[in-house]
Structure 1
Amino acid sequence: MNVLRGRLALRERLLVAGLVGFVTLLAGCKVGPNYNRPATAPPPEYKEGGSAGAVVPPPNPNGGTWKPASPSDGMLRGKWWEVYQDPQLNALEEQIVPQNQNLRAALETYLYARDQVRVARADYYPTLSVSAAASRDQVSSHRPLAVSGTMIGYSDFQLGGQASWEPDFWGRVRRNVEAAHATAQASAADMANLDLSLHAELALDYFELRGLDSDARLLERTVKDYQNQLDLNQRLVKGGLATEVTVAQALTQLETTRAQLVDLNVARNEYEHAIATLINKEARDVSLAPAPLDLALPGVPVGVPSQLVERRPDISAAERRTAAANAQIGIAISAFYPNVVLGGGGGFESTNISTLIQGPSALWSLGGQATELLFDAGKRHAITDQARHNYEAQASTYRATVLGAFNEVEDRLSDLRVLEEEATTEKRAVAAAQSSLDLSNQRYRGGATNYLEVLVAESTLLSNQRTSTDLVTRQFAASVGLVRALGGGWDVTQLPQ
């Protein structure tokens, strides 16, 4: 009898071991296509690579031993705004991360997506539960077929546990984890892109504000010059060398310029309020002292186009969503295969609590179930087709994002090149206008011409000076735009793993 029991126990152990081995073998399967990043063809170099304000690393010479550039070699890193060497800008930029509510919302969105990965991973493991029950029951002594003298009241004590596990035979759980992980990474890239956009927007607003301060300084100097011209004409009228018309003309030009100076405050206040919004402060709490834009325009390291794919968070977000869409194909395909669930339970049951935890009170069960859907009117095929089409849509979005990124860099490089050429030309125009005004003043004071010639020369000079000042602001705006187009100081290594 003992030998027979030993053989039965051995068979049970072999059966369980074989079942575990079979489950392990099947768990290695994973249906659906494995992900490969959609192919893109970055240009070998930027068309506008030699633009002003951009720094491009030299190419590797023939036979050279230089190692290929990594995504961070020769590129902006971390706090990219520090390249402008403006302490006030640095102080403002540092306030965005802890204060901006949009960025806070993006962070919470990422944390939500990250928690979804944990939810998906939980399906790798069995679910376990325990239960305990106690009852006192009494049956009717008048029930059919009741035997006289039998017990009609009894107690029932139960202590047990259950386990259920759905082995990942077809890779549904693994694909689900892949999709959740890629989605979480896309959310992190979205947050990085928002962070970059906010910092770039603050830098743009800041340089626009300082550009207005430069314009205000120019108008203040011009007002002083026009006041001197008015005083001169008033003295000439008293001496009989000029008419009241000349004084009226000089006064008109002076007051017009003063009005332009006052009007600058409208735009300046709006930029100041925009900065306050970005750092989540009341407008009344942010007051920036006037500071003309006298900074030197820094060179922005551009790198090569192939690096751009690794440095733009919006590109990474699009690529990660493509990976998630690919995983959804595998999840859809897994629905065509049987759904297998293994389960078991065990515990103790007794009518007396003192004998509950004893060998004779033990009970257990072990089993499995496989379910195969035979007919669903094409629903699974439609879901699979949906997943494939969604993947193709995401892949196309990714390729379009990459192409748009390359062209955006080209636009900003072109802006810097054209603005540099225009600024150089405008400087010559300012010098010529200043010379013309000096000659007109000399002719007017010598009585060789009327005051109208001076007015025209003054207006021409002021117009060219304001254009020159505006070009400086536009150059800084284009520089910030180039930084934004290059991804700032971000790269894919910052994605959560």
Structure 2
Amino acid sequence: MKHLVLPSLLVLVTALAGCAGVDPSPLPETRPVDAYKEASGPWIAASEDAEPLRPTAWWKRFEDPDLDRLQDQLLADSPDLAAALARYQQARAATDAVRSAQYPTLGLGASATRNRQSDRRPLRGASSPDIYNNGLIGLNLDYEIDLWGRVSQQVKAGAAREHAAKADLAGAQLSLQTQLADTLLSLRGADREIALLTNTEQAYSKAATMIAERHRAGLSSGLDLARAENQRDSARSQLQQMQGQRALLEHAIAAQVGVPASQFSLAPRIMPELVPAVPLGLPSTLLERRPDIVSAQQRVAAANASVGVARTAFFPAITLGALLGYQSDVFSNVIAAPNMFWTIGPALAVNLLDGGRRQAEVARAKASLDEAGQTYRSVVLQAFTQVEDQLALLNSFGQAASSEQSAVAAATRALELANNRYKDGAASYLDVVTAQTAALQAERNALSLTTRQRRATVQLVRALGGGWSDDS
């Protein structure tokens, strides 16, 4: 009968360990997507032979040397990116702290005290001294036997959180990189508008001077002169406003790359109005290319492991302890063979009654798992929505830009005709002013649409995850 006790205990322990475990929870199902609905146009590289989107070089597609330089400066000096890196390092350190529970702890203690016993101490011996010394030096070893998987589940949860923090870091980096690119492209658009308004203001000034000379010669009315001066001053005002907007964009870039705004400047540069083609890839790869999706996946894994940790609270904690040292009432002779003592053995602790606290903790962990799963599902849905949004904007901006170019051409012809008719005396200067206003607005609209196309391209890169993958 005695020979059956140990095998029976082993079977019981194995069964209990199986009850304490938790199977991996599957991710919530999302509807498979075969193709992007809005994918069309020359700005989409949908062929299988297209160069893939690379996480460290996507901005080079805009062929702007200032953007390349500033992206390097962002990685080196951005305070926001440094803060994101610090958050990841905290998660990694927390995981290392959890992993340490898998190993024994060994401590060294020493004490030297002089004590006086109470005369009425219970069970005090008749020959026991009133005052005595107590010197103690000892090593203490503790190790929790992870029979139910509590520690291993904690390590799994910690590793998943660390992985999620790593993806969060990548997401923060991508967000800052796209924000920088978006701001610089806006600044480049402002450069082009400033150049247009500068030329326009100069042309209007020449026209106002010409009308003033004609007015003095009696060939133009004062009304014509007032209209010409109004056009010149209006163009000058628009130029000054755009210069102010450019200054704000320049200051924003300075903050993004970690430089005081008063010490940062970017020279105006008229870059080609390049709208690079973005390789989409298959919709299924979006789940691997977006760091926020990977982060949500890992948080599901962490929540799943936390359920296992909560379940192990129903089982006894088994620790193995050992103590080895020397103890003596003579401080000068503590370390001696007769003074050695040791103790070793297992300890078992189980919580028999807690008013439902452990059951509530399991319920809380399961609810957290459900929340993490639905958060993952929401992130996936938002990801596909953001991709479709930017594709739709690129399509509409592209079509609008084509129509606006036709409008620019028509407005330019109308301005030429109005100028010729005015010089021939067949029209008033009001016709010229109207044509000038329409032509300037059409040109500004065309420039704005191109800038918005380029910015939508950046946001599409962000929606696609910037080419990031778990191995990046």
TM-score, normalised via structure 2 length? 0.89
Picking from 106, 117, 122, the partner of 2:95 is: 117
Within-5 A mapping of 1:219-258: 219-258=197-236
Aligned residue number for residue 55 of structure 1: 45
Paired residue type of 2:305: A
Aligned residue number for residue 471 of structure 1: 449
Asked if structure 1 preserves the Cα contact closer than 8 Å seen for 2:184 and 2:249, the reply is: yes
Between the aligned partners of 1:49 and 1:100, the Cα distance in structure 2 is 34
150-159 vs 458-467, which deviates more? 150-159
Deviations 1:268-288 (A, max 9, x none): 111111111111211111111
Between the aligned partners of 2:115 and 2:132, the Cα distance in structure 1 is 5
Picking from 373, 393, 397, the partner of 1:419 is: 397
Aligned residue number for residue 31 of structure 1: 21
Change (3 A) 1:393 1:154: closer
The alignment status of 1:184 with 2:174, answered yes or no, reads no
Picking from 193, 196, 201, the partner of 1:215 is: 193
Using the TM superposition, give the Cα deviation of residue 165 of structure 1 relative to its aligned residue in structure 2, in angstroms.
1.6
The alignment status of 1:376 with 2:366, answered yes or no, reads no
Task: Report the 3-state secondary structure (helix = DSSP H, G, I; strand = E; otherwise coil) of the residue aligned with 1:367.
Answer: strand
Paired residue type of 1:333: R
Picking from 428, 431, 434, the partner of 1:453 is: 431
Change (3 A) 1:196 1:136: closer
Picking from 84, 89, 110, the partner of 2:62 is: 84
Between the aligned partners of 1:387 and 1:399, the Cα distance in structure 2 is 19
Asked if structure 2 preserves the Cα contact closer than 8 Å seen for 1:137 and 1:155, the reply is: yes
Between the aligned partners of 2:78 and 2:139, the Cα distance in structure 1 is 50
Task: Report the 3-state secondary structure (helix = DSSP H, G, I; strand = E; otherwise coil) of the residue aligned with 1:46.
Answer: coil
Picking from 373, 378, 390, the partner of 1:395 is: 373
Between the aligned partners of 1:78 and 1:408, the Cα distance in structure 2 is 21
Between the aligned partners of 2:109 and 2:434, the Cα distance in structure 1 is 97
Aligned residue number for residue 3 of structure 2: none
Deviations 1:137-159 (A, max 9, x none): 89999x99999999999876654
Deviations 1:57-85 (A, max 9, x none): 349xxxxxxxxxxxx97223313211211
Between the aligned partners of 1:409 and 1:222, the Cα distance in structure 2 is 38
Using the TM superposition, give the Cα deviation of residue 364 of structure 1 relative to its aligned residue in structure 2, in angstroms.
2.8
Using the TM superposition, give the Cα deviation of residue 43 of structure 1 relative to its aligned residue in structure 2, in angstroms.
0.7
Between the aligned partners of 2:231 and 2:125, the Cα distance in structure 1 is 122
Paired residue type of 1:477: R
Change (3 A) 1:198 1:34: same
The alignment status of 1:126 with 2:116, answered yes or no, reads no
Between the aligned partners of 1:44 and 1:146, the Cα distance in structure 2 is 85
Using the TM superposition, give the Cα deviation of residue 228 of structure 1 relative to its aligned residue in structure 2, in angstroms.
2.9
- RMSD over aligned CA atoms reads 3.4
Query: What percentage of residue pairs aligned between the two structures are identical?
Result: 37
Asked if structure 2 preserves the Cα contact closer than 8 Å seen for 1:52 and 1:417, the reply is: no
The alignment status of 1:366 with 2:344, answered yes or no, reads yes
144-153 vs 100-109, which deviates more? 144-153
Deviations 1:366-412 (A, max 9, x none): 22222222221211111111110111011101110011001101100
Asked if structure 1 preserves the Cα contact closer than 8 Å seen for 2:164 and 2:296, the reply is: yes
Asked if structure 1 preserves the Cα contact closer than 8 Å seen for 2:194 and 2:239, the reply is: yes
Using the TM superposition, give the Cα deviation of residue 451 of structure 1 relative to its aligned residue in structure 2, in angstroms.
1.6
Between the aligned partners of 2:333 and 2:12, the Cα distance in structure 1 is 39
Between the aligned partners of 1:248 and 1:303, the Cα distance in structure 2 is 58
Change (3 A) 1:339 1:427: same
Using the TM superposition, give the Cα deviation of residue 464 of structure 1 relative to its aligned residue in structure 2, in angstroms.
0.5
Using the TM superposition, give the Cα deviation of residue 245 of structure 1 relative to its aligned residue in structure 2, in angstroms.
1.6
Change (3 A) 1:30 1:337: closer
Report how many residues are paired.
Answer: 466
Using the TM superposition, give the Cα deviation of residue 413 of structure 1 relative to its aligned residue in structure 2, in angstroms.
0.8
Asked if structure 2 preserves the Cα contact closer than 8 Å seen for 1:219 and 1:257, the reply is: yes
Picking from 308, 311, 314, the partner of 2:292 is: 314
Aligned residue number for residue 413 of structure 2: 435
Deviations 1:197-224 (A, max 9, x none): 1111111111111111111111122122
Change (3 A) 1:254 1:20: same
Change (3 A) 1:138 1:443: closer
Asked if structure 1 preserves the Cα contact closer than 8 Å seen for 2:24 and 2:301, the reply is: no
Change (3 A) 1:165 1:107: same
Asked if structure 1 preserves the Cα contact closer than 8 Å seen for 2:141 and 2:321, the reply is: yes
Between the aligned partners of 1:25 and 1:345, the Cα distance in structure 2 is 32
Task: Report the 3-state secondary structure (helix = DSSP H, G, I; strand = E; otherwise coil) of the residue aligned with 2:193.
Answer: helix
Between the aligned partners of 2:451 and 2:402, the Cα distance in structure 1 is 14
Asked if structure 1 preserves the Cα contact closer than 8 Å seen for 2:320 and 2:346, the reply is: yes
Task: Report the 3-state secondary structure (helix = DSSP H, G, I; strand = E; otherwise coil) of the residue aligned with 1:161.
Answer: strand
Paired residue type of 2:394: L
Asked if structure 2 preserves the Cα contact closer than 8 Å seen for 1:345 and 1:366, the reply is: yes
Task: Report the 3-state secondary structure (helix = DSSP H, G, I; strand = E; otherwise coil) of the residue aligned with 1:335.
Answer: helix
Task: Report the 3-state secondary structure (helix = DSSP H, G, I; strand = E; otherwise coil) of the residue aligned with 1:375.
Answer: coil
Deviations 1:96-116 (A, max 9, x none): 122121221221111111111
Asked if structure 1 preserves the Cα contact closer than 8 Å seen for 2:20 and 2:311, the reply is: no
Using the TM superposition, give the Cα deviation of residue 331 of structure 1 relative to its aligned residue in structure 2, in angstroms.
0.8
Using the TM superposition, give the Cα deviation of residue 131 of structure 1 relative to its aligned residue in structure 2, in angstroms.
3.6
Task: Report the 3-state secondary structure (helix = DSSP H, G, I; strand = E; otherwise coil) of the residue aligned with 2:465.
Answer: coil
Task: Report the 3-state secondary structure (helix = DSSP H, G, I; strand = E; otherwise coil) of the residue aligned with 2:471.
Answer: helix
Between the aligned partners of 1:139 and 1:230, the Cα distance in structure 2 is 110
